[in-house]
Amino acid sequence: MSLTEAVAVADGYNRRRELQAFDDTKAGVKGLLDAGATSIPAIFHHPPDSLPQPRDHHAATPVTTDGGAAVPVIDLLAAPREEVVRLVRSAAETAGFFQVVNHGVPGEAMAAMIAASRRFNEQPAEAKRPYYTRDTAARKVRFYSNLDLFQSLAACWRDTVFCDMAPEPPLPEELPEPLRGVMFEYADAVRKLAVWVFELLSESLGLGGDHLSKMGCGESLKVAINYYPPCPEPHLTLGNTRHTDPTFLTVLLQDGVGGLQVLLDHAGAGSGWVDVPPVPGALIINIGDLLQLVSNGRFRSVEHRVLANKNTTARISVASFVDVGVGRDTRRYGPIQELVHGGNPPLYRSVTVEEFVGHFYRKGSERRARLDYFKLEQ
């Protein structure tokens, strides 16, 4: 063994031990701050080329409601409806991200969801510890820091509560007390919004309004509450590394802190890493990998990331992953027949969700270009 190899092995060993020690606290990143951390442990240091580069920096795209912005804000109740369908199509085919207002999720439920998320995370560590696990089969409500802690190259400055809400919701008593009063109402409202958005997306593909819902795209809902504590060295780490969502659709609620960025590659309105700025009252919708697959590449599941929180207060986001149920679901999902014809051959082979999700976990830290695995030779 060369000296470099010996150092690497020793480093690897220490890293493994540090990860285990961090995980054993069951107190997450918030626990490090509570213990007085003024710098970030080495396990959170990302390789320099994964960190935001000075040349990445693009001014926040101006927010407009006319669909002209890179990540547009769309009023779902604007008339005429064909115009809403056109804006949704255009956003789904380019940025893969859009924000919606007049979306039917009550503002009070959104505010209560953020407040409850803060209350859960800011309780003493002892109250959160019983929920701490990364075993997805252990229970319907799980608290953890970095699901891929032991697989990824570097940990992110974020703690998460993950709740399986549909098709089989938890019992009220399975939810931590701070979340009990709001979670069911919020999840129901998000599911209704998802049905509405699937309708607009179906119509924008020239299909009947109920096409995507009938395929079962909205049967399952998983809610991830992300808590991004203030970071003492935000230039060394990330809140979430670049990735696409392995879902059909994601509905994201964020508070006013900001930090979400989407990687745009189209000419015009913006390219490179572009901020998705907080818009009061709005929800963010993004296309997931499975919707890119069934739309035969018309809709785009676009990479996004979250910067480490430079603010002095924690950032909270609530990501609702709209999906088909895994386990019970043996259906195969492939490009929708009506979208595949002579000039438009299928780009992907069909997959079961189990196969898709299995691939997702096998890939571990390689969270990019996942869909390419299912691409057909052209």
Q: Which is nearer to ligand OGA, 204 or 309 (CB)?
A: 309
**Residue 288 in contact with residue 89, Cβ under 8 Å?**
no
**Residue 166 in contact with residue 320, Cβ under 8 Å?**
no
Q: Which stretch binds Ni ion (CB under 5 A): 8-16, 205-213, 220-228, 241-249?
A: 241-249
Whole-number minimum distance, CB 376 to ligand OGA, in Å? Answer: 27
Q: Where on the chain is the footprint of ligand OGA (CB under 6 A)?
A: 224, 226, 240, 245, 252, 254, 260, 304, 306, 317, 319
Whole-number minimum distance, CB 44 to ligand OGA, in Å? Answer: 17
Q: Which is nearer to ligand OGA, 73 or 306 (CB)?
A: 306
DSSP 163: E
Based on DSSP, count helices (H) and strands (E) in the chain, helices before strands: 10, 14
254 contacts which partner out of Ni ion, ligand OGA, none, CB within 5 to 8 A by kind? ligand OGA
Residues in Cβ contact with 317 at an 8 Å cutoff, skipping those fewer than 6 apart: 225, 226, 228, 252, 253, 254, 255, 260, 306
Q: Tell me the angle at which helices 81-93 and 183-204 cross, rounded to the nearest 10 degrees.
A: 90
226 contacts which partner out of Ni ion, ligand OGA, none, CB within 5 to 8 A by kind? ligand OGA
Whole-number minimum distance, CB 277 to Ni ion, in Å? Answer: 17
117 contacts which partner out of Ni ion, ligand OGA, none, CB within 5 to 8 A by kind? none
Q: Which is nearer to ligand OGA, 162 or 348 (CB)?
A: 162
Determine how many CB atoms are found less than 10 A away from the CB of residue 205: 20
The torsion angle over the Cα atoms of residues 96, 98, 315 and 32, rounded to 10 degrees, is -10
317 contacts which partner out of ligand OGA, Ni ion, none, CB within 5 to 8 A by kind? ligand OGA
320 contacts which partner out of ligand OGA, Ni ion, none, CB within 5 to 8 A by kind? none
Q: Which is nearer to ligand OGA, 164 or 245 (CB)?
A: 245
DSSP 33: H
Q: Which is nearer to ligand OGA, 63 or 224 (CB)?
A: 224
Q: Which stretch binds Ni ion (CB under 5 A): 118-126, 230-238, 242-250, 324-332?
A: 242-250
Q: Which is nearer to ligand OGA, 218 or 288 (CB)?
A: 288
Whole-number minimum distance, CB 59 to Ni ion, in Å? Answer: 23
Residue of minimal CB distance from Ni ion?
245
371 forms beta bridges with none
Q: Which is nearer to ligand OGA, 213 or 286 (CB)?
A: 286
**Residue 259 in contact with residue 318, Cβ under 8 Å?**
no
Question: Counting every residue, how long is the chain?
Answer: 378
Task: Please report whether residue 303 would count as binding Ni ion according to CB under 5 A.
Answer: no
Token reading at 237:
């780490």
289 contacts which partner out of Ni ion, ligand OGA, none, CB within 5 to 8 A by kind? none
Whole-number minimum distance, CB 252 to ligand OGA, in Å? Answer: 6
**Residue 43 in contact with residue 150, Cβ under 8 Å?**
no
**Residue 240 in contact with residue 306, Cβ under 8 Å?**
yes
260 contacts which partner out of ligand OGA, Ni ion, none, CB within 5 to 8 A by kind? ligand OGA
**Residue 202 in contact with residue 338, Cβ under 8 Å?**
no
Token reading at 263:
């990687």
Between CA 353 and CA 67 the distance in angstroms is 33
306 contacts which partner out of Ni ion, ligand OGA, none, CB within 5 to 8 A by kind? ligand OGA
Number of Cα atoms under 13 Å in the Cβ half of residue 22: 29
Total residues contacting Ni ion by CB under 5 A comes to 1
Q: Which is nearer to Ni ion, 156 or 336 (CB)?
A: 156
Whole-number minimum distance, CB 367 to ligand OGA, in Å? Answer: 10
Residues in Cβ contact with 185 at an 8 Å cutoff, skipping those fewer than 6 apart: 109
Whole-number minimum distance, CB 133 to Ni ion, in Å? Answer: 21
Question: Within 243-282, which residues bind Ni ion (CB under 5 A)?
Answer: 245
CA 163 to chain centre: 14
Distance from the first to the final alpha carbon of the chain: 46
List residues binding Ni ion (CB under 5 A).
245
